[in-house]
Structures are given as structure tokens and as C-alpha cells.
């Protein structure tokens, strides 16, 4: 037993010891010979490395995502840090290679055939992906080549801010071997998702799902890697949505200010202007696009309409109070209106009174003014509350 293991050890030693620099270098030369890389022309690195040139070479792609470095809704860009896994099998004649040396050879990108894959929807580059810093690993027993360059991908992504700040964005990274048609290079995927096992959490966006698929369009094969991200909405809820809701809540209270203090119009205008400021703030975060527009913008505009209506109605009511000072009579139409309101509001506990009785009741300007104040205060509060509920509840429920 002892003797046997020492013989094995010895054999191993011989094999390991005998992989010399020059034998490895010879193999490199042999590999490169098939690409004519020592010629002056170097054209062979563009021929697909398969024996039957009527067939396509099958490149398997995968993607690994390490970080989301940014999503800019205003300019419609997404940037991620990741790596691409590309692999293919070279069918070159390696019969003269000495297989008793190393199995894996790290090659220079320019010395062997590599698929010239580009990111179709890239924003900042038209070059092929994969810097020459990252080198393919060549397995000489099968001709299998693996190339995993790290990449920083900046792609165009059309933002959908309808549900801002509870929005989800879906962005695609579309790759294609630009110079080769689908009958020369085909793409396959190593997985139907993006590998996110080494993904670093982002504080502004959370990763919801990833997807990968291939398709043929026109003459080319495409690989489509998609990521879906969800905005972390807490920051915007506290700093943007809450102020808007609070401001909406106080607009209607203009009706409760004493008419004599002359503060009502100033208060309404201040509310209106505060909405303008909040609208400007929201617009900073949104693209200048009309389709689709953010529901939050519509909400603010409707609230601005409410506050201008508050302003106009208050001017009318203040005129009523002034009429009282002039000692005019309450017009018949206004009396009827007041009666209708009184009837509606107080029907339950004033059932004993008949309409005729009330017509004879003393309806003076003071009563009319106070009644209208209360009526409009409740009406506005209810309308705004109902509108807010209808508008923001579905928005919030998406999160």
C-alpha cells in the first residue's frame, strides 16, 4: 500500500514537474496558428471557429448583476455594474497540441475569435462589450472558451412615472452579435434570469425580478436581459406626499376664518401658491413627457383648482357680509337657497317646522353668510377627502 502510493506520488510529480514553460508556449503557438495570429493580416480571428462554415456557432450568454448604480427617470437612463458570461466551443483542429500539459490557457482577446457583442440600447458607447483586460479561458481538451468580462452598462430605459412615487420600472439590456447574422452566430442563455446572488442592495430602488430571453429580429439574434425595480417610496412619501396631503386638508378651513378679519383671500392665495411650489418640486423628479403623466401631478392640479374655487367663493361670501353693512334686503332667490340648505342639513331635527314657517323666519345677511360658510366648508372638505381617497388610495395600494 505504502509502496503503491509512493509510486503514484512519484508519477504525479513527474507529470507536474514536466509541464515546462516552453511546452506551454508551444501550445499557445499551436492554438494561435489556427487563427493565423502570427500572420500580418490577422483576418482569421473574424472567421467563426467551426469546421462546417455553413453552420452557426452557438454562443451561450449569461449575466451577473452586482449593483444598480443609478436610475434617472428624468433622462431615462439606467446604469448597472455586472459581468457577462460568454462561452462557446471552438471546433479547430487541435491534433498537434500536446495535451499532457496545461488544460486551460488564458488567451488575449485579440488573438482568438470572440463574438463582437454590443449593447443595442447603450447610451454612452458604440464599442463591443468586454474590455481586453478580461481574457478568455481556453480549454484545450474540448476547445471550450469562457469569457467573463466585467461591464458597466448604461442603457436607455423609458420611464413610466404614472404611479410616482410608488412606481416600478422595467428596463432591458439588449445584446446582439452585431457583425454576424443568425446563420453565423446563435445566442443561447445559460439561465432564464440574471444572476443576482452577489447583488448589493440599493437604497433608492429595490430589485423585484429579472428575466432573460432570446429572440430573432431581422437578420440577427438578440439576447434581452430585463430587470424590474421598485422605488423605495418612504423618502418621497414623507417629504413630498405628506406635505401635499396636509396642505389639501387646510385649504377648506378658509371658510372658518372670521369674515371681519379680512384674512380669507390671503389664506386661499397662500395655499394656491404653496401648491405651485410643491408642483415645481414634484416636476424636478419627473421626465418632461406627456405620456404618461404622473397621477400625483394631476392630483396637485386638481387641488389647485379647489383652492382657486375656495378663493372665488370666499370673495362672493365676503360681498354678502358687506351687503349686510349696507342694509340691503336679502334677495328672494338667496332666501330660497338658504332654505334648501337648511332643509337638507337640518331635516332630521327640524321636521316639526314647515317650509312656510321658515319662510317667515327672519333670514338676515348674518345667517346667510354663516350658513354658507359652514355649507361650503363641509362641501369642500368632503369633496377633497373623497377625491384624495379615490386618487391616492389606489396609488398607495400598489406599494
Ligand X SMILES: *[C@@H]1O[C@H](CO)[C@@H](O)[C@H](O)[C@H]1NC(C)=O
Residues at the site binding ligand X, with contacts judged by CB under 6 A: 18-20, 23, 37, 40, 42, 58, 60, 93, 95-96, 98, 100-101, 103-104, 110-111, 139, 141-142, 144, 172, 174, 186, 188, 211, 213, 215, 224, 226
Shortest Å distance, C-beta 214 to ligand X: 10
Shortest Å distance, C-beta 103 to ligand X: 5
Shortest Å distance, C-beta 253 to ligand X: 47
Shortest Å distance, C-beta 104 to ligand X: 5
Shortest Å distance, C-beta 20 to ligand X: 5
Residue 163: count of CB within 10 angstroms of its CB: 19
Q: How far apart are CA 270 and CA 21, in angstroms?
A: 82
Nearer to ligand X, 186 or 220 (CB): 186
Nearer to ligand X, 42 or 354 (CB): 42
Q: Which residues pair with 117 in a beta bridge?
A: 177
**Nine cell digits for residue 361:** 323666519
Shortest Å distance, C-beta 285 to ligand X: 24
Taking phi first (over 0 means left), then psi (-120 to 50 degrees means alpha), and beta for anything else, what does residue 61 get?
A: beta
Relative to beta strand 205-217, strand 144-147 is: unpaired
Tell me which DSSP letter residue 368 carries: H
Residue 74: count of CB within 10 angstroms of its CB: 14
Nearer to ligand X, 102 or 334 (CB): 102
Max CA separation in the chain (angstroms): 127
363 in helix, strand or coil? coil
DSSP string, 19-72: --HHHHHHHHHHHHHHTTTTSSS-GGGGS-S-S-TTSPEEEEEEEEEEEEEEEE
Are 152 and 69 in contact by the 8 Å Cβ rule? The answer is yes
Q: How far apart are CA 378 and CA 212, in angstroms?
A: 54
Q: How far apart are CA 321 and CA 367, in angstroms?
A: 10
Q: How far apart are CA 354 and CA 337, in angstroms?
A: 16
Relative to beta strand 57-72, strand 185-189 is: parallel
Nearer to ligand X, 144 or 285 (CB): 144
Shortest Å distance, C-beta 225 to ligand X: 8
CA 160 to chain centre: 7
Shortest Å distance, C-beta 39 to ligand X: 7
Give 234: exposed, middle or buried? Use CB within 10 Å, 0-12, 13-18, 19+. exposed
Shortest Å distance, C-beta 18 to ligand X: 4
Q: Half-sphere exposure of 304 toward its Cβ, with a 13 Å CA cutoff?
A: 15
Shortest Å distance, C-beta 198 to ligand X: 21
Amino acid at each position: 500500500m505504502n509502496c503503491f502510493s509512493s509510486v503514484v506520488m512519484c508519477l504525479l510529480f513527474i507529470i507536474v514537474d514536466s509541464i515546462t514553460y516552453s511546452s506551454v508556449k508551444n501550445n499557445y503557438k499551436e492554438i494561435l496558428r489556427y487563427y493565423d495570429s502570427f500572420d500580418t493580416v490577422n483576418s482569421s480571428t473574424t472567421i467563426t471557429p467551426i469546421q462546417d462554415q455553413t453552420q452557426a456557432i452557438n454562443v451561450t450568454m449569461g449575466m451577473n448583476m452586482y449593483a444598480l448604480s443609478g436610475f434617472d427617470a428624468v433622462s431615462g437612463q439606467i446604469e448597472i455594474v455586472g459581468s457577462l458570461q460568454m462561452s462557446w466551443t471552438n471546433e479547430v483542429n487541435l491534433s498537434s497540441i500536446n495535451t499532457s500539459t496545461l488544460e486551460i490557457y488564458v488567451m488575449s482577446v485579440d488573438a482568438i475569435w470572440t463574438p463582437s457583442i454590443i449593447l443595442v440600447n447603450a447610451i454612452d458607447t458604440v464599442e463591443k462589450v468586454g474590455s481586453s483586460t478580461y481574457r478568455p479561458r481556453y480549454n484545450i481538451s474540448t476547445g471550450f472558451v469562457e469569457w467573463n468580462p466585467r461591464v458597466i452598462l448604461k442603457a436607455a430605459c423609458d420611464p413610466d412615472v404614472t404611479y410616482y412615487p410608488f412606481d416600478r420600472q422595467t428596463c432591458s439590456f439588449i445584446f446582439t452579435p452585431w457583425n454576424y447574422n443568425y446563420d453565423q452566430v446563435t445566442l443561447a442563455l445559460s439561465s432564464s434570469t440574471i444572476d443576482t446572488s452577489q447583488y448589493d442592495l440599493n437604497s433608492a430602488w429595490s430589485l423585484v425580478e429579472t428575466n432573460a430571453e432570446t429572440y430573432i429580429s431581422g437578420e440577427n439574434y438578440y439576447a434581452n436581459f430585463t430587470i424590474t425595480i421598485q422605488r423605495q417610496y418612504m423618502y418621497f412619501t414623507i417629504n413630498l406626499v405628506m406635505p401635499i396631503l396636509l396642505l389639501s386638508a387646510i385649504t377648506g378651513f378658509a371658510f372658518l376664518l372670521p369674515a371681519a378679519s379680512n384674512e380669507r383671500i390671503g389664506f386661499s392665495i397662500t395655499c394656491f401658491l404653496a401648491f405651485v411650489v410643491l408642483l415645481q418640486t414634484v416636476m424636478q423628479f419627473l421626465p418632461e413627457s406627456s405620456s404618461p403623466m404622473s397621477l400625483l401631478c394631476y392630483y396637485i392640479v386638481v387641488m389647485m383648482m379647489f383652492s382657486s374655487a375656495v378663493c372665488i367663493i370666499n370673495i362672493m361670501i365676503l360681498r354678502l357680509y358687506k351687503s349686510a353693512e349696507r342694509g340691503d334686503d336679502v334677495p328672494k332667490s338667496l332666501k330660497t337657497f338658504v332654505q334648501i340648505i337648511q332643509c337638507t342639513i337640518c331635516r332630521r331635527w327640524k321636521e316639526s317646522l314647515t317650509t312656510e314657517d321658515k319662510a317667515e323666519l327672519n333670514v338676515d345677511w348674518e345667517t346667510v353668510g354663516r350658513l354658507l360658510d359652514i355649507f361650503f366648508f363641509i362641501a369642500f372638505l368632503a369633496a377633497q377627502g373623497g377625491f384624495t381617497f379615490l386618487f391616492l388610495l389606489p396609488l398607495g395600494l400598489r406599494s
